[in-house]
Chain A
Amino acid sequence: MAPLPPCDGEPRVSPLPEPLRREIEDFLYLEARLADESRYEEWEALVADDMQYWVPRGRADYDPADRLSYINDNRARLATRIRQLKTGLRHAQTPPSPMRRMVSNIEILAVDHEAGVYTVGSNFVLYELAVQAGAALRVWPGRVTHRLRRVEGRLRMSRKVVELVTAEAPQWNMAFLI
């Protein structure tokens, strides 16, 4: 495997053993599919206790504590988000939007083998059919940075940061799991 280019000042990472890289990629694809299919409980089972789910307004170059973001969920607020979706009364996702996203350009950005923590960057394009009102096909391109951590032998996500290509512009309803 060719060495990875440096990215955003992250340290250069030595190539991972192929089974581990495969495991990480599989996690990303599973996480994407469960979100696409609005399988809220199964998606939430992939989340670690210290989760931060952040969709910044613009680039992820600010402290979300002090400025508004589209989403800045800690674990408790993410649980509320899932709970709301599961009521069946969340009109903005009733019925849930049919969605599919392509995940690509997967790069391992940082590794802490001892702690079992991996920072992974990927690009995505999400197609959403906004069936709740006008049934417009909406396209959501962006980049995700996952922080994955091994919890009792399984990979879990403890951070998901979604930088939308359109993050500076006003957004349509984003009540699904992005």
Chain B
Amino acid sequence: MTGRYAALVREDRVHGSLYTDPRIFVEEMDRIFRRGWVFLGHESEIAAPGDWVVRPIGLESVILVRDREGRIQVLANRCAHRGNRLCWKERGHDSRFQCIYHGWTFGLDGSLRAVSHKAGFDRDRADMPLDRAGQVGSHRGFIFANMSGDAGPLADHLGVGGRDLIERLCDLSPTGNIHFGAGWIGHRIESNWKMWPESDSDGYHLDFVHASMLRAVPDNYYDETVIGGESKNVSRAIDHGGGVSELDLRPSYRRELAWLGTTRDKIASYCAALEARHGKERADRLLWDGPPHGFIFPNLFLGEGNVARVDPVDVGTVLHVHTALQLEGVDQVLNRRLVRQSEAGLGPASFIVPDDAIIAERMQIGFQGLQPPLNGGDNGPGWIDLSRGRARESRADDGTRVGHVSDETTNRAFWRHYRHVMESRA
């Protein structure tokens, strides 16, 4: 099998069968979503011992729970006895998990605590905990896990680039902490999941796909950041390595707080609190820069004021699930503004992503029936061109590649890492 993905994923093109071949999807669920780090949620969602939420890791359902000692546990949502689903609501607060099939009871740490009618049970309870993620880690409250336990340190997975993206987001809070209290909105799309790391980090499509939004919302800031002509636009597309990509809009902002659509005098207490934490220079910088726009492999989108997961369902279906950035230690008026912005941008009835969804669904239709090229050659139908900007992107000593915001540098960043993961975990 070695070499199969190298044949389908080239430096400047990828093959359309990658989006439609169900065998590839099965391998992705193992190599990427079971054996690699996956973003699950945020510590603020399980603030107190006993708080839990249900999340997917690939196709598996897991319970994200804070145990009695305050540790984060990621447990298979499946009774260790006969496999019945333990939690069927989205979230809750409990002191234990009881299976309603035969009444087995598990602690918040996943240990088997009690078996009903125990006289007939002759196994050792200690041998029968819930299945669990092999590794769990968090960075500034963002929780990641992997089931296999051999994915290496989380810090390596995120890399300098990924950690920096998360830190720039959290530093916008006067306490350094953000929370996910605005809830999640799910958007179901008939496309392969990989179209979302691509679309979410694509700086080339705005003036076509989102033309209707740009006309209907005249006071948006996209003209100065991602449209506005190739020559005058100074936003950048960045490949940080390791599947971490960024559209760096900062160089294009022409005023501070453009990202929030407001001015300093209207949110004076926030600005003062930020300055008290970070000092004037850094606070001024943050108010100018705003939240980053980046993607962390394989499923975490930091979309300016939004945080989104990409949850695969099957080879042709994906959930794009998002929440709004919420800052700790600010006036609720500011967080409410962020909720309204999020509703405008992401979700099934928003002004932006439904148009991306249609493009993804049409691409998915376009790729139906494609077969991988014979003999690993790059001729034949069904190739997707991702060459834009290769000649003009720069490469730093640490491997970071930087291109124009409209270049496919970010898409190549995803695919280069995808190929590495799919080949190295073959």
Seen from chain A, the residues whose Cβ lies within 8 Å of a Cβ on chain B are 55, 57, 65-72, 77, 80-81, 83-85, 87-92, 132-134, 136, 168-175, 178
Contact = CB atoms under 8 A, between A and B. Distances in A.
A91 B336 contact: no
Contacts of B359: 91
B119 interface: no
Contact of B212 (A55, A57, A89, A132): A89
A83 B212 CA distance: 9
A170 B188 contact: yes
Contacts, number: 115
Interface string B174-209: 000000011111111110000000000000000001
A170 B90 CA distance: 12
Contacts of A174: 348-349, 354
Given A80-B351, A168-B90, A91 B358 contact: yes
6 contacts: A65-B339, A70-B349, A72-B343, A80-B351, A84-B351, A85-B212
B361 interface: yes
- Which of B217, B336, B349, B355 has the most chain A CB atoms closer than 10 A to its own CB? B349
Contact of B183 (A67, A84, A92): A67
Given A134-B190, A178-B349, 12 more contacts: A65-B336, A65-B339, A66-B182, A71-B349, A80-B351, A88-B212, A133-B362, A136-B190, A170-B319, A172-B189, A172-B348, A175-B349
Interface of A, helix, strand, loop or mixed by DSSP? loop
Contact of A133 (B90, B190, B215, B217): B190
A77 to B, nearest CB: 7
Contact of A77 (B321, B336, B344): B344
Interface string B325-357: 000000010011001101110011101001101
The 4 A-B pairs with the shortest beta carbon distances in the complex, nearest first, are: A170-B186, A133-B361, A92-B354, A84-B216
Contacts of A68: 182-185, 323-324, 339, 342-343, 347
Contacts of B361: 132-134
Contacts of B319: 170
B213 interface: yes
Interface of B: 90, 181-190, 209, 211-213, 215-217, 319, 321, 323-324, 332, 335-336, 339-340, 342-344, 347-349, 351, 354-355, 357-359, 361-362, 364-365
A81 B344 CA distance: 9
A173 B351 contact: no
A57 B190 contact: no
Contact of B211 (A55, A71, A89, A92): A89
A85 B211 CA distance: 11
Contact of B348 (A85, A87, A171): A171
Contact of B209 (A65, A91, A133): A91
A55 B217 CA distance: 21
B335 A92 contact: no
B183 A57 contact: yes
Contacts of B335: 66
Given A91-B209, A133-B190, A170-B187, A69 B216 contact: no
A86 to B, nearest CB: 8
Nearest to A87: B212
Given A92-B358, A173-B354, A87 B343 contact: no
- Which of A72, A77, A132, A133 has the most chain B CB atoms closer than 10 A to its own CB? A133
Given A65-B336, A72-B343, A87-B212, A173 B357 contact: yes
B182 A70 contact: no
Given A91-B359, A92-B357, A173-B357, A80 B216 contact: yes
